[in-house]
Structure 1
Amino acid sequence: MPPASPGPILRRRRLGGELRRLREVAGLTGDQVIERIGWASASKLSRLENGRSRPDPADVRALLDLYAADETLHGELLGMAQEAGDIRGWLRNFPVMTEQQRAFAELESGCAEILEYHAALVPGLLQTPGYASVRIASARQVGEEAGDPELGEDIETEVRARQARQALLTRGADAPRYTAVLDEAALGGRAGPPAVLREQLVQLHDLAMLSNITLRVLPRDAQIGNGYLPPTAFSVYRFADPLDPETLAIEGGFTDVMSTEVNTLNHYKVVFEWLRTAALSEPDTISWLLEAAGRLPGPATASALAYGSATAPTQRRRPSGRLTER
């Protein structure tokens, strides 16, 4: 089961922010730091401060000495540097993890809240093995046609890695709050064979009944804001420690972009608020998923079809509040 503690990528970003703050308090420029410590590469400090490289504890210690950090902060940040570099230790918490899945798994570990929107796909944290296999196989086919020399792991390994990530939604009392807006187009016939799609709809229904998970279907004809059309899929990650930076992941077809820049995050929070407002309510979404699954052929093997009239349990109701106020 995935760990509740933050993954290495988050530790790097937190450490980088602290090192930048200490440098600014000391009144030093990046060039002055490089000169005084004697580093050969001028980009080394930039990579550390932006969380783009695995920190060497010796380098972090040299910076803390230069900035005259007090003993308590010295110990805290050196411990953070150790966590940020311990990829192998962190990966031991997962049964399997691929390079493609790792960045998302690191972000999701230690999350207090996750917000996701996708116009064309069911998000990875919600996918059934069958749906994930279809999606991964289709992406590999594109790579083969394009002559990509690095197609990644085999499909079965990729699916197992995705399932390992999904365990965080049901890990118990410290599971994150999860909200997803699912475009109706992502749940239509192009998503896969009827049996695969039906199984996926049933799983979405079952997950939507959990107290920490909120799913909302966005109808095809729903008005978003004043006619706004979201151009990309995206996710927002919030963490229990307020000093850990909120992180945005923008998902493209074959590349992903991640950012902690506050202004950019606020734009996507506004968009997510519009999407959530335009989507069906939680009870209506649960009913929609149940009815959509019932229209597809397949055996009645999943628990969702036994619920009867689908209504959200009372314990699921939570105050909403605008994202930009939280």
Structure 2
Amino acid sequence: MTSPFLRRRRLATELRTLREEKGIKAEDLSQQILRSRMTVSKLENGRCRPDVADVVKILEILGVTGDKWQELFNLTCQAAERGWWDKYGDAMGPRQRMYADLESAAESICGYNQFGVPGILQTPDFSLALVELDKADGPLTYRPDRMLEARQRRRQAAFGPGGPTYELILDEFVVRRLAVPPGVMSEQLVHLVQAATAEPRLSIHVLPVNARVEGGFLARSTFAIYTFTDPRDPPVAIADTMHTDIVHTTAREVARYVELYRRLREASLSPVSSLTLLEEAANELSELAGS
């Protein structure tokens, strides 16, 4: 399917550009469609699901007709669609909903994980161990059971027919320092090895703790780069910060993440050596758990 998130951003750019070309202020437009200035702002920044009737009124005010009207009407309908993830509401968390949305239209995903294992590749026990760590920051804003159910749906969609290729760089820092029970981490590492061995569209690189990343600064956060099947949708980079995800869409911003990813990949182990390291670490942790 198409990604409603991407369609909202494309629609936002189109509407803002058309309004500015007509010399109409956002405040004046909001008064003409009998909506608040904030509503127009959210629509022109892709931060809300569009109301089709509102957009039709805006197109009329801006004098859009013919093929352009039909193109933007179709885009509005796609932007207003709901995906399977929407039925979970806040129970699965807003971050995971956005990831599921982007994955639905992705052709490839390249991710660097500095402090954790990507949710889509986590075992249930590992996810629950992270939930316990998450509780240290205060009350949960999601339901763990629904979060796990949603991740299962994401795995089925991403690794089902027509899903994206997925290349992961996992910092060895995660394997050595993340404070989950040794047995749980061991099982998680075994799962990564098995998944990468069984799924040809998945490849895993480990960035050793003693690797030197040449050519510039180190990564300051976990991030992922998405490319999409529709050539009209440019690549997107998402930086994972402590409290939110920052979405980068401009060519210059995305290019910086692409270059950073290239340098991290060059400093990482090959897929075969990476899986060997993960397997050896899993054995060490299993022995530690047994003792």
Q: With the length of structure 2 as denominator, give the TM-score of the two structures.
A: 0.86
In the other structure, the counterpart of 1:274 is: 263
- What's the offset of the Cα at 1:164? 2.0
Counterpart residue number, 1:250: 239
Q: Equivalent of 1:18, from 14, 18, 22?
A: 14
Look up the SS of the partner of 1:69 in the other structure.
Answer: coil
SS, match of residue 179 in structure 1: strand
Per the alignment, residue 57 of structure 2 pairs with: 62
Q: Which runs of 5+ in 1 are unaligned?
A: 145-150, 299-326
Give identity over the alignment, percent.
Answer: 33
Count of aligned residue pairs for this structure pair: 285
User: Are the counterparts in 2 of residues 8 and 85 from structure 1 also a CA contact under 8 Å?
Assistant: yes
Q: Which runs of 4+ in 1 moved over 4 A?
A: none
Distance 1:53 1:154, change over 3 A: closer
Which residue in the other structure is 1:199 paired with?
Answer: 187
Q: Which residue of 2 aligns with 1:316?
A: none
Q: 2:30 and 2:171 mapped to 1: Cα distance? A: 53
String of CA shifts for 1:137-181, please: whole Å, max 9, x gaps: 21122214xxxxxx2233222222222222233112x11011111
Q: Name the residue aligned to 2:175.
A: 187
> How far 1:223 sits from its partner (Å)?
0.7
Is the Cα–Cα contact under 8 Å of residues 178 and 213 in structure 1 kept in the other structure?
yes
Q: Is the 8 A contact 1:13 1:245 kept in 2?
A: no
Kindly report the root-mean-square deviation, in angstroms, between the aligned alpha carbons of the 2 structures: 2.7
Deviation at 1:193, TM superposition (A): 1.4
* Per-residue deviation, 1:204: 0.9
Within 5 Å, give how 1:1-326 maps onto structure 2.
5-23=1-19, 26-31=21-26, 34=29, 37=32, 39=34, 41-87=36-82, 90-91=84-85, 98-100=92-94, 101-144=96-139, 151-172=140-161, 174-188=162-176, 190-209=178-197, 210-226=199-215, 228-297=217-286
- Deviation string, structure 1 residues 54-73 (Cα, Å, up to 9, x no partner): 21112211222234434333
Please list the CA deviations of residues 173-223 of structure 1 after superposition, one character each: whole Å capped at 9, or x if unmatched.
x11011111000111253421221111111111222222112100000101
Query: Contact conserved, 2:113 with 2:222, CA < 8 A, in 1?
Result: yes
Shift of 1:37: 3.5
* Aligned counterparts of 1:103 and 1:35: Cα–Cα separation in 2: 28
Partner-residue secondary structure (3-state), 2:64: coil
SS at match of 1:234: strand
What TM-score do the two structures reach when normalised by structure 1?
Answer: 0.78
Equivalent position amino acid for 1:240 in 2: T
Distance 1:91 1:199 in 2: 27
Q: What is the deviation of 1:126?
A: 1.4
1:122, distance to aligned residue in structure 2 (A):
0.8
Q: Deviations over 1:34-78 (max 9, x none)?
A: 278455534443322210122111221122223443433323322
Q: Counterpart of 1:128 in structure 2: which amino acid?
A: T
CA contact (8 A) 1:14 1:243 kept: no
C-alpha distance in 1 between matches for 2:182 and 2:172: 15
What's the counterpart of residue 323 of structure 1?
none
CA contact (8 A) 2:164 2:201 kept: yes
8 Å CA contact 1:97–1:164 kept in 2: the answer is: no
Unaligned runs of 5+ in 2: none
Aligned-partner residue type, residue 98 of structure 1:
M
Structure 2 distance, partners of 1:275, 1:236, is 13
